[in-house]
Amino acid sequence: MAPVTHKPLLATVLGQRQERPPIWIMRQAGRYLPEYRQTRAQTGGFLELCYTPELAVEVTLQPLRRFDLDAAILFSDILVIPDALGQSVRFATGEGPLLDPLDEKGIDGLDRDRAIAHLAPVFETLRRLRAALPPEKTLIGFCGAPWTVATYMLGGRGSPDQWAARRFALEHPQAFDRLIDILVDTSIDYLAAQFEAGADVVQLFESWALNLDDASFFRQVMDPNRRIVEGLRQRVPDAPVIGFPRGAAGNLRRFSEATGVNALGIDFATPIDFVNAHLPPELAVQGNLDPLRLVVGGEAMERQARAIIEGFANRPHIFNLGHGIVPETPIAHVERLVELVKGG
């Protein structure tokens, strides 16, 4: 088969298995890197870092200078969308994000007309990255999927059980659906503009696809992801999309069929043999090392990394973590993991 592209990671997303799995690391730019902490300390705030192309390009490229990764992921955050819609979003150092939680009136006050213009610096960052990256590297754009973004907009912060947003969805169904509609439409505009600015592929982060019964999973996770993929492909034909419904468990196959994503991110709690038994062998998967194994390193990391490579040897596979890298991760362990995946 002729290669569909000379970018190994993009080719894998498009269904073409590589001899060794290409690798990127979820949240690969960030606080485990001293050079990131230094750039961050010299910048006013986290959102300023996201909206200053010169700095966002610098931190995007930092992990690629250290490690032989196959992709750069745009440095930004899923919460630039609420910020762009006019909701107050703050990032206190060492803590997660804080938002003024939305009520029904707040949802009606969101201003979709200003959102894409507000995000213009993100598109400039992508244009500069496109120009700076060697041709074999894949450039990944992203946004949060609507439900995950809504959990922060309604709850005001990250929460282990997404209680506030789950409750709001049941108690105020019409306002909730209006919020999801706004997020679907804004995300389509945002991702289409990311492709125009040079992204090769985008990932939809549905980090909180957990804790939902069947009906809620369909309404809050599956349907909005499907609408984004469909709407995006009307604007950017055949746009390559990676879905990441973390915690979808028994709903993984239904999610992949309903949304039409090209590749599926697999969280670390999902068994490899379950994936192989339930997802068609031509579908690309991405994952799924527990980030804790990368913290511990040694045999705890290497044994499972090899099991993942062998377990996904018969399908297109992108090596990644099953969730984001954490700040206490030793850099030497990342170096070793990349070497191992590349064949060492």
Residues identified as active-site: 27, 31, 40, 77, 152
Contact between 93 and ligand 1CP by CB under 6 A: the answer reads yes
CA 273 – CA 277 distance, rounded (Å) = 6
Among residue numbers 125 through 154, which ones bind ligand 1CP (CB under 6 A)? 142
Contact between 97 and ligand 1CP by CB under 6 A: the answer reads yes
Among residue numbers 247 through 306, which ones bind ligand 1CP (CB under 6 A)? none
Amino acid at 235: R
* Window contacting ligand 1CP (CB under 6 A); options: 26-34, 123-131, 192-200, 304-312: 26-34
Q: Which is nearer to ligand 1CP, 141 or 315 (CB)?
A: 141
- Determine phi and psi for 265, rounding to 5 degrees: -75, 135
Provide the token pair at 268: 């670390």
29 is in an annotated binding site: yes
β-pairing verdict for 317-321 and 284-289: parallel
Q: Which of 333, 344, 263, 343 is nearest to 25 (CA)?
A: 333
Tell me which DSSP letter residue 103 carries. Answer: -
* Window contacting ligand 1CP (CB under 6 A); options: 3-11, 28-36, 165-173, 262-270: 28-36
Q: Which is nearer to ligand 1CP, 315 or 321 (CB)?
A: 321
Contact between 205 and ligand 1CP by CB under 6 A: the answer reads yes
**Cis bond before residue 288 (omega within 30° of 0):** yes
Closest residue to ligand 1CP, Cβ-based?
Answer: 158
* Window contacting ligand 1CP (CB under 6 A); options: 3-11, 27-35, 229-237, 267-275: 27-35
Q: Give the chain's length.
A: 344
Alpha-carbon dihedral sign for residues 248, 249, 250, 256 = positive
* Window contacting ligand 1CP (CB under 6 A); options: 93-101, 178-186, 229-237, 334-342: 93-101
Longest dimension (CA), the chain: 56
Q: Which is nearer to ligand 1CP, 33 or 184 (CB)?
A: 33
Contact between 75 and ligand 1CP by CB under 6 A: the answer reads yes
Q: Which of 64, 68, 60 is nearest to 21 (CA)?
A: 68
The structure tokens 């799924």 sit at 288
Amino acid at 138: T
Size of the site for ligand 1CP (CB under 6 A): 22
Per CB under 6 A, residues contacting ligand 1CP are: 27-31, 40, 46, 73, 75-79, 91, 93, 96-97, 142, 158, 205, 207, 324
